[in-house]
């Protein structure tokens, strides 16, 4: 049995990948993956702040790796 992550879990996976700059980009990707109503799941204050921090942390980590390569 293959359970797919919830919309919010998948959003954090995408944010932590470092491939996305904005929540809107993540929402669009989720829609392409078949997650309906992705934007509404990602619009609450309890999700937006942590998601933005996850995006920023992933970008910083990617930049750090690029500098040390």
Predicted confidence (pLDDT) per residue in 50-63, tens digit:
999 999 999 999 87
| pLDDT score of 36 | 92
pLDDT tens column, 10-52: 999 999 999 999 999 999 999 999 999 999 999 999 999 999 9
Quote the distance between the C-alpha of residue 24 and its chain's center. Answer: 9
Integer angstrom CA distances of residue 58 from 36, 39, 40, 54: 25, 21, 23, 6
Task: Give the number of other Cβ atoms within 10 Å of residue 26's Cβ.
Answer: 25
pTM: 0.88
**pLDDT at residue number 49:** 96
């Amino acid at each position: 049995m293959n359970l797919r992550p919830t919309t919010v879990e998948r959003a954090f996976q995408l944010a932590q990948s470092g491939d996305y700059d904005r929540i809107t980009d993540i929402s669009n990707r989720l829609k392409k993956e078949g997650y309906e109503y992705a934007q509404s799941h990602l619009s609450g204050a309890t999700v937006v702040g942590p998601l933005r921090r996850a995006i920023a942390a992933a970008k910083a980590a990617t930049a750090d790796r690029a500098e040390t390569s």
